[in-house]
Amino acid sequence: MKDASSKLSELIAWFKKYNGVLVAFSGGVDSTLVAKVAHMVLGDRAYAATACSPSLPERELKEATDIAKLIGIRQVFVNTNETNKPEYVRNAPDRCYFCKEELYSKLRELAVSLGIEQIVDGTNFDDLKDFRPGIDAAKKFGVRSPLAELGIGKELVREISKLLGLPTTFKTSSPCLASRIVYGYPITDELLKKVDMVENFIREHVNLKILRVRVHGDIVRIEVGKEERHLMFDVNLMDKIAAYIKSLGFTFVTLDLEGYRQGSFLEAIRKTNKHVSVENPT
């Protein structure tokens, strides 16, 4: 825990340079740590800004609200409209750039209205190892990433979070709903809502730690944690899930026998280009 303590001290010192910050806050492991330390240092001059977006699962919005209250930081909400951007809707591998561009443009306006000098996000040091178009959008709007700048990767994020007693210490990743839709298939508000509805339905019937409902046109492919696959092996359960998904307009429903693996949409792409790496391959 020595490294965690020393890095926490560095993180505290990092925020002391500012009179106020606006944290891009999703309630995930990384942004929660950033928001917590920002609040520790700056008090009421630290704000957590959470996007209200069609691509954010409803349960994640609720969790982000609960976590913000728990750590005591002021929370503000911004409505984003990335699904109005043709570049986002086309759902190419650079989709995340246009989502972040929409978010940071709204946060810049908010920061100005609040008189806040700096926007920060939860990008950690490990994130820099991948091709992440969203980081380019952050640079465009002058967003800084204290975790990345201080060399704090995911493992250290969790260690520091544990040191601070944060509830997100062991939280699994929960990327945006758009990451569930196969590249090249257009993203719509209606489709994002359906994905959220299906995941909520499944979670109501099965206690899963990891779940991804992948959409391939009219095919839905369900991924669950590798150690949780046996929880799905119930005929009545499978019939119930399939019937619900088909009632939303999908034609085929499959359970991925390999279970969840990060970036499964990229498998076909990587067969033809071994060097492909895409932001948020979750």
**Mean pLDDT (whole number) for 229-241:** 97
Of all residues in the chain, what percent carry a pLDDT higher than 90? 85
pLDDT at position 267: 58
pLDDT of residue 165: 97
**Local confidence band at 178 (pLDDT 50, 70, 90 cut-offs):** very high
Beta strands 74-79 and 118-120 are unpaired
Query: Per-residue confidence at 94, pLDDT binned at 50, 70, 90?
Result: very high
**87 class by beta-carbon count within 10 Å (0-12 exposed, 13-18 middle, 19+ buried):** middle
Taking 80 as the threshold, does the pLDDT of residue 98 lie above it? yes
Query: How sure is the predictor about 248, in pLDDT bands with cuts at 50, 70 and 90?
Result: very high
Query: To the nearest whole number, what is the mean pLDDT of the chain?
Result: 92
Helix, strand, or coil here: 181? strand
Query: pLDDT tens for residues 202-231?
Result: 999 999 999 999 999 999 999 999 999 999
Backbone angles phi, psi at 95, to 5 degrees: -50, -40
Rg (alpha carbons) of the chain, rounded to whole number: 19
Identify the band that residue 78 occupies on the pLDDT scale cut at 50, 70 and 90.
Answer: very high
Placement of tokens 């942004």 in the chain: 31
The candidate with the shortest Cα–Cα distance to 76, out of 56, 33, 40, 106, is 106
With beta carbons less than 8 A apart as the criterion, state whether 32 and 69 touch: no
Beta carbons of 50 and 69 less than 8 angstroms apart:
no
Reduce the DSSP state of residue 184 to 3 states and report it. coil
275 pLDDT tier (thresholds 50, 70, 90)? very low
pLDDT at 2: 65
Instruction: Determine phi and psi for 216, rounding to 5 degrees.
Output: -120, 80
pLDDT value of position 279: 44
C-alpha span between 201 and 206 (Å, rounded): 9
Q: Are 78 and 105 in contact (CB under 8 A)?
A: no
Helix (H) or strand (E) holding 200: helix 189-205
95: pLDDT strictly greater than 80: yes
Per-residue pLDDT tens over the stretch 149-160:
999 999 999 999
Residue 261: which pLDDT band, with cuts at 50, 70 and 90? confident
Phi, psi of 234 (to 5 degrees): -135, 120
Q: What is the pLDDT of residue 268?
A: 56
Q: Which band of pLDDT confidence, cut at 50, 70 and 90, is reported for residue 278?
A: very low
pLDDT category at 103 given cuts 50, 70, 90 is very high
Task: Note the pLDDT tens digit of each residue in 9-40.
Answer: 999 999 999 999 999 999 999 999 999 999 99
- The amino acid at 185: Y
Average pLDDT over residues 176-201: 96
